[in-house]
Amino acid sequence: MTEQFMKRRKELGLTQRQIAEAVGVTVQTISNWETGLYNPKLTLD
């Protein structure tokens, strides 16, 4: 997931900050997702 996430973000021309603001997390969280320190918890409502 980590490589796919970063690759797709870059394909879209988005920064970590833009993604963070869009999903309501910090830039550090996005960095952690991309480096594999932890994965986002996904919930389906």
Rounded Cα–Cα distance for residues 5 and 36 (Å): 10
Dihedral sign from CA coordinates of 45, 27, 16, 22: positive
pLDDT in tens, 11-37: 999 999 999 999 999 999 999 999 988
Question: Binning pLDDT at 50, 70 and 90, where does residue 40 land?
Answer: confident
pTM score of the predicted model:
0.79
Per-position DSSP letters for 23-36, written without gaps between them: HT--HHHHHHHHHT
**Neighbour tally for 30: CB within 10 Å:** 24
- Where in the chain are the domains? 2-35
The answer on pLDDT for 7 being more than 90 is: yes
Q: What's residue 43's pLDDT?
A: 65
Please check whether residue 16 is in contact with residue 31, taking contact to mean a CB–CB distance below 8 angstroms: yes
* Phi and psi at residue 33, to the nearest 5°: -65, -45
The answer on pLDDT for 1 being more than 80 is: no
